[in-house]
Amino acid sequence: MRQSCRAVAALAATAKAATLADLCTVANVQSALPANGTLVGIDLLPSTVTASPVYNATGGMSSTATYTYCNVTVAYTHTGKGDIVNLKYALPSPSSFSNRFYVAGGGGFSLSSDATGGLAYDAASGATDAGYDAFSTSYDEVVLYGNGSINWDATHMFGYQALGEMTQVGKPLTRGFYALADDTKLYTYFEGCSDGGREGMSQVQRYGEEFDGAITGAPAFRFAHQQVLHVYSSAVEQTLDYYPPPCELEKIVNATIAACDPLDGRTDGVISRTDLCMLNFNLTSIIGESYYCAAETSSSLGFGFNRKRQAQGSTTSTTPEQNGTVTAEGVAVAQGIYDGIFNSEGERAYLSWQIGSELGDAATTYNNETDTWELNIPSTGGEYVTKFIQLLDLDNLSDLNNVTYDTLVDWINTGFVRYYESLQTTLPDLTPFQSTGGKLLHYHGESDSSIPAASSVHYWQSVRSIMYPDLSDEEALAALQEWYQFYLIPGAGHCGANSLQPGPYPQNNMDIIIDWVENGVQPTALNATVSSGVKAGETQMLCQWPTRPLWASENATSFDCVEDEASIDSWTYTFPAFKLPVY
Ligand SMILES: *[C@@H]1O[C@H](CO)[C@@H](O)[C@H](O)[C@H]1NC(C)=O
Ligand SMILES: *[C@@H]1O[C@H](CO)[C@@H](O)[C@H](O)[C@H]1NC(C)=O
Ligand SMILES: *[C@@H]1O[C@H](CO)[C@@H](O)[C@H](O)[C@H]1NC(C)=O
Ligand SMILES: *[C@@H]1O[C@H](CO)[C@@H](O)[C@H](O)[C@H]1NC(C)=O
Ligand SMILES: *[C@@H]1O[C@H](CO)[C@@H](O)[C@H](O)[C@H]1NC(C)=O
Ligand SMILES: *[C@@H]1O[C@H](CO)[C@@H](O)[C@H](O)[C@H]1NC(C)=O
Ligand SMILES: *[C@@H]1O[C@H](CO)[C@@H](O)[C@H](O)[C@H]1NC(C)=O
Ligand SMILES: *[C@@H]1O[C@H](CO)[C@@H](O)[C@H](O)[C@H]1NC(C)=O
Ligand SMILES: *[C@@H]1O[C@H](CO)[C@@H](O)[C@H](O)[C@H]1NC(C)=O
Ligand SMILES: *[C@@H]1O[C@H](CO)[C@@H](O)[C@H](O)[C@H]1NC(C)=O
Ligand SMILES: *[C@@H]1O[C@H](CO)[C@@H](O)[C@H](O)[C@H]1NC(C)=O
Ligand SMILES: *[C@@H]1O[C@H](CO)[C@@H](O)[C@H](O)[C@H]1NC(C)=O
């Protein structure tokens, strides 16, 4: 026993002294692969291994740094299935490897196709083609084999399985590659936003014991609710039979920001407290204000395959000058959108974007022949309904004829049940992750106009109540903070800063989670920097949910993090339109 320990230590020392070229060989990678039977259901194919050093490459997370790493590819098949899943890994030089494995999230309907994201953190990392060519194909392109026929393999792989398996293979591969001693910890991290945030939640929920730290931003989870929400704005316009000029909605958003910015105690261009805006501001006060947007011409080249087609496809579209005053109808559309989805019984089916968020999904299209603004259905939502609900291989709904709010609720319910196990991604019991020491940093831009910030709040509340059913809210909060922390980012949009509200955005989340995981430093705030606007350069230490920021005065340089029951209540939802619990 002692001897083998010493042998392992000697090997590890050798690996540390080894150069990248020494380790980056097909034979070394093959010998590091987990043997068939070790990972039940995953048969690695050693003959597919490639390994070659890459020196001084640009890329990874930084545009200036260069990276040197071993570029590894390998395929596996699911036992007895005959499929092929291609993996790639980037393993840093032994001299700059810090015993870390890193998984990056993708976005939209894509998994990350880049394996080099971990290099900036001295981590090995990987990417998977999920068995459906995910390096170059978006999952929505393959979700149907044809009308009515769902590709469940791709659905489960995209949903959670591909990243979990890439991690399960990548960790022993990394250990073997560097000959890590058995008692050396390989710290494993996830980082992603939007669908990447959903992917991170899928890993925390399904492969919790594999991960030590996860950073999940604005997760696109509660998938059925989230995707149908993307057609809700159009449905409001159709129901109210009012198609606002985009400039009118822009004005409503701008006027809301101007009115609600001071409610948090400081006038800095940012609604740091959308809850106070919701509770204290009435959109009807904007009626009658004037708006103006200049005419705009935009050209697109089209996507023709030959020159002739391309010439035909190239289009110039012009939106006219928009000059008017905000109408009661325009305000009713905005209010309806911010209120969220209800069925005809008045039962809530879903929440919505915080007041003051942009209303992008509500953008209408200009018809230059009739000189009117018309219904435009965002394909984010339309494609979900056609492909995932109606199971028709179409890229968008063509209209909303006969579509009522009850229809939306039916669509949600269909998607909720059909993809409950694959895409919904809201399992609230994180015990395997928590009990093996996992740490979760979850954040969301408060004025996200794509995925509502309240969607994240609801999941946090679900985890709290499911995991700590017998504790008071205060006790549960204290227990949760030790491993799962949630932060709202004032003014921020979807996975980034928001030009309409130039506020803070977190800069060094990975530093924070590495310190938490590897050094036991439990965060008390997220470190965020304001990059533009009147407060450009200011650092704000963001409040941990459920505390909320409040500036003591206009001249304050930092806010207090306060408890405010009425505000928390305004973020708290139930969804009686469904019989199933909505986590
Ligand atoms: C694992 O099983 C696959 C077949 O499922 C086979 O092709 C492969 O060679 C096996 N790997 C090893 C290391 O034996
Ligand atoms: C990579 O960059 C380093 C530092 O600039 C340099 O010393 C080294 O020769 C380069 N390696 C290759 C293979 O270009
Ligand atoms: C990594 O290896 C694969 C397989 O040989 C190759 O296709 C790819 O271009 C390589 N990537 C880099 C950055 O060298
Ligand atoms: C809204 O505010 C933005 C940013 O200040 C500005 O660019 C835009 O023109 C405004 N739009 C309207 C309709 O007032
Ligand atoms: C806003 O004001 C209008 C008009 O006074 C009123 O009908 C409406 O109920 C108010 N809305 C809220 C949410 O208080
Ligand atoms: C409407 O726009 C199209 C291009 O989008 C253009 O070809 C056409 O001339 C325009 N019609 C009018 C009446 O302006
Ligand atoms: C908008 O229309 C009003 C009333 O017709 C006019 O007084 C004003 O000058 C117009 N504004 C712009 C910028 O064209
Ligand atoms: C569907 O989405 C596409 C792409 O976003 C858009 O161009 C098209 O106008 C939409 N269709 C309708 C009916 O709104
Ligand atoms: C799938 O269904 C749509 C809508 O009915 C139809 O337009 C399309 O042609 C069908 N596709 C095939 C391959 O049959
Ligand atoms: C809408 O529903 C009515 C009644 O069910 C039906 O007669 C009509 O054809 C439908 N219209 C469309 C465009 O589907
Ligand atoms: C916050 O982040 C900035 C930029 O990354 C860094 O310079 C600063 O040291 C960080 N502050 C704290 C308290 O972590
Ligand atoms: C804020 O600072 C300005 C200028 O420094 C000063 O005039 C003003 O009285 C201060 N306001 C408060 C509330 O302290």
Q: What is the pLDDT of residues 15-70, one digit of tens each?
A: 557 999 999 999 999 999 999 999 999 999 999 999 999 999 986 555 678 899 99
Q: Looking at the structure, do residues 337 and 237 belong to the same domain, yes or no?
A: yes
pLDDT at position 5 is: 44
pLDDT in tens, 126-182: 999 999 999 999 999 999 999 999 999 999 999 999 999 999 999 999 999 999 999
HEC sequence for 64-123: EEEEEEEEEEEEEEECCCCCCEEEEEEEECHHHCCCEEEEECCECCECCCCCCCCHHHCE
Residue 543 is given by DSSP the state P
pLDDT at position 9 is: 47
pLDDT in tens, 17-28: 799 999 999 999
Q: Looking at the structure, do residues 144 and 195 belong to the same domain, yes or no?
A: yes
Atom of ligand 10 nearest to the CA of 402: 1
Q: Looking at the structure, do residues 504 and 534 belong to the same domain, yes or no?
A: yes
pLDDT, average across residues 574-579: 98
Answer yes or no: is pLDDT of 8 > 50. Answer: no
Answer yes or no: is pLDDT of 304 > 90. Answer: no
| Chain-centroid distance, C-alpha 182 | 34
For ligand 8, atom 2, the nearest C-alpha belongs to: 379
Atom of ligand 1 nearest to the CA of 80: 5
Q: How far is the CA of 499 from the centre of ligand 7 (A)?
A: 26
Residue 157 is given by DSSP the state I
pLDDT at position 481 is: 98
Answer yes or no: is pLDDT of 228 > 90. Answer: yes
Q: Looking at the structure, do residues 383 and 455 belong to the same domain, yes or no?
A: no
For ligand 6, atom 7, the nearest C-alpha belongs to: 316
Answer yes or no: is pLDDT of 11 > 70. Answer: no
What is the rounded distance in angstroms from the CA atom of residue 384 to the CA atom of residue 365? 21
Q: How far is the CA of 188 from the centre of ligand 1 (A)?
A: 27
Q: Looking at the structure, do residues 241 and 258 belong to the same domain, yes or no?
A: yes
How many other C-beta atoms can be found within 10 angstroms of the C-beta atom of residue 479?
A: 15
Pocket lining: 284 vs ligand 5, CB cutoff 6 Å: yes
pLDDT, average across residues 524-529: 97
For ligand 10, atom 5, the nearest C-alpha belongs to: 402
Atom of ligand 2 nearest to the CA of 68: 1
Q: How far is the CA of 412 from the centre of ligand 3 (A)?
A: 42
Q: Looking at the structure, do residues 196 and 286 belong to the same domain, yes or no?
A: no
**Closest-approaching ligand to the CA atom of 557:** 12
Residue 385 is given by DSSP the state I
Q: How far is the CA of 231 from the centre of ligand 4 (A)?
A: 25
| Spatial contact of 362 and 333, defined as CB atoms under 8 Å apart | yes
Strands 62-78 and 42-59: antiparallel
Q: Looking at the structure, do residues 503 and 562 belong to the same domain, yes or no?
A: yes
pLDDT at position 64 is: 74
| Spatial contact of 206 and 164, defined as CB atoms under 8 Å apart | yes
Pocket lining: 43 vs ligand 1, CB cutoff 6 Å: yes
% the chain with pLDDT above 70: 94
pLDDT at position 17 is: 75
Among 420, 454, 475, where does a domain finish? 420
**Closest-approaching ligand to the CA atom of 512:** 11
Long-range contacts from 559-567, C-beta under 8 angstroms, 24+ separation? 559/264, 559/265, 559/266, 559/272, 564/275, 566/275, 566/279, 567/273, 567/275, 567/276, 567/279
Q: What CATH number did the domain enclosing 537 receive?
A: 3.40.50
Q: Looking at the structure, do residues 513 and 541 belong to the same domain, yes or no?
A: yes
Return the closest-CA partner of residue 103 out of 178, 159, 167. 167
What is the rounded distance in angstroms from the CA atom of residue 242 to the CA atom of residue 248? 12
pLDDT, average across residues 346-352: 98
How many other C-beta atoms can be found within 10 angstroms of the C-beta atom of residue 133?
A: 13
pLDDT at position 264 is: 98
> Residue 334 falls within a domain, yes or no?
yes
For ligand 5, atom 5, the nearest C-alpha belongs to: 284
What is the rounded distance in angstroms from the CA atom of residue 296 to the CA atom of residue 277? 32
DSSP code per residue over 29-53: HHHHSPPTTTSTTEEEEEEEEEEEE
Pocket lining: 55 vs ligand 2, CB cutoff 6 Å: yes
Q: How far is the CA of 508 from the centre of ligand 11 (A)?
A: 7
pLDDT at position 58 is: 82
Pocket lining: 3 vs ligand 2, CB cutoff 6 Å: no
Answer yes or no: is pLDDT of 121 > 80. Answer: yes
Atom of ligand 4 nearest to the CA of 251: 13
Among 420, 439, 456, where does a domain finish? 420
> Residue 77 falls within a domain, yes or no?
no
pLDDT, average across residues 400-416: 98
> Residue 121 falls within a domain, yes or no?
yes
Q: Looking at the structure, do residues 394 and 513 belong to the same domain, yes or no?
A: no
Q: Looking at the structure, do residues 274 and 406 belong to the same domain, yes or no?
A: yes
Pocket lining: 558 vs ligand 11, CB cutoff 6 Å: no
Return the closest-CA partner of residue 246 out of 113, 343, 359. 359
To the nearest 10 degrees (0 to 180), the angle between helices 473-481 and 453-467 is: 100
Atom of ligand 1 nearest to the CA of 79: 5
Pocket lining: 325 vs ligand 7, CB cutoff 6 Å: no
pLDDT category at 318 given cuts 50, 70, 90 is confident
Residue 446 is given by DSSP the state T
Pocket lining: 402 vs ligand 10, CB cutoff 6 Å: yes
Cα-based torsion angle of the residue sequence 179, 185, 191, 197 in order, rounded to the nearest 10 degrees: 120
What is the rounded distance in angstroms from the CA atom of residue 45 to the CA atom of residue 42? 10
pLDDT category at 14 given cuts 50, 70, 90 is low
Amino acid at 141: E
* Catalytic annotation, residues: 194, 448, 494
pLDDT category at 13 given cuts 50, 70, 90 is low
| Spatial contact of 59 and 116, defined as CB atoms under 8 Å apart | yes
Return the closest-CA partner of residue 44 out of 87, 73, 76, 82. 76
Residue 132 is given by DSSP the state T
> Residue 164 falls within a domain, yes or no?
yes
What is the rounded distance in angstroms from the CA atom of residue 129 to the CA atom of residue 122? 23
Long-range contacts from 42-45, C-beta under 8 angstroms, 24+ separation? 42/76, 42/78, 42/79, 42/165, 42/168, 42/169, 43/76, 43/77, 43/78, 43/79, 44/74, 44/75, 44/76, 44/169, 45/74, 45/75, 45/76, 45/77, 45/84
Pocket lining: 507 vs ligand 11, CB cutoff 6 Å: yes
Please list every protein residue whose CB sits less than 6 Å from any atom of ligand 6.
Answer: 315-317, 368-369
Return the closest-CA partner of residue 195 out of 279, 258, 115, 134. 134
Answer yes or no: is pLDDT of 365 > 70. Answer: yes
Answer yes or no: is pLDDT of 111 > 60. Answer: yes
Q: How far is the CA of 114 from the centre of ligand 3 (A)?
A: 11
> Residue 296 falls within a domain, yes or no?
yes
What is the rounded distance in angstroms from the CA atom of residue 348 to the CA atom of residue 572? 12
**Closest-approaching ligand to the CA atom of 553:** 12
pLDDT in tens, 251-273: 999 999 999 999 999 999 999 99
Substitution candidate for ligand 11 out of 61, 487, 508 with most atoms within 8 A of CB: 508
> Residue 242 falls within a domain, yes or no?
yes
pLDDT category at 316 given cuts 50, 70, 90 is confident
Return the closest-CA partner of residue 493 out of 455, 529, 448, 456. 448
pLDDT, average across residues 81-105: 97
| Spatial contact of 506 and 542, defined as CB atoms under 8 Å apart | yes
pLDDT in tens, 539-553: 999 999 999 999 999
HEC sequence for 398-414: CCCCCCCHHHHHHHHHH
For ligand 9, atom 8, the nearest C-alpha belongs to: 393
> Residue 119 falls within a domain, yes or no?
yes
pLDDT category at 389 given cuts 50, 70, 90 is very high
What is the domain count for the chain?
2
pLDDT in tens, 176-206: 999 999 999 999 999 999 999 999 999 999 9
Mean pLDDT rounded to a whole number for the chain: 94
CA distances from 143 to 151, 154, 391 (A): 5, 7, 9
Atom of ligand 7 nearest to the CA of 321: 14
Q: How far is the CA of 439 from the centre of ligand 3 (A)?
A: 33
Q: How far is the CA of 251 from the centre of ligand 7 (A)?
A: 15
Answer yes or no: is pLDDT of 73 > 60. Answer: yes
Among 367, 397, 420, where does a domain finish? 420
> Residue 56 falls within a domain, yes or no?
no
For ligand 12, atom 9, the nearest C-alpha belongs to: 555
Pocket lining: 280 vs ligand 5, CB cutoff 6 Å: no
Q: Looking at the structure, do residues 405 and 388 belong to the same domain, yes or no?
A: yes
Q: How far is the CA of 551 from the centre of ligand 11 (A)?
A: 21
Return the closest-CA partner of residue 444 out of 425, 429, 457, 463. 457
Residue 293 is given by DSSP the state E
What is the rounded distance in angstroms from the CA atom of residue 104 to the CA atom of residue 120? 12
Q: Which residues, at least 6 apart from 298, have a Cβ–Cβ distance to it below 8 Å?
A: 316, 317
The domain containing residue 557 runs over which residues?
97-222+428-567
Pocket lining: 431 vs ligand 5, CB cutoff 6 Å: no
Q: Looking at the structure, do residues 412 and 476 belong to the same domain, yes or no?
A: no
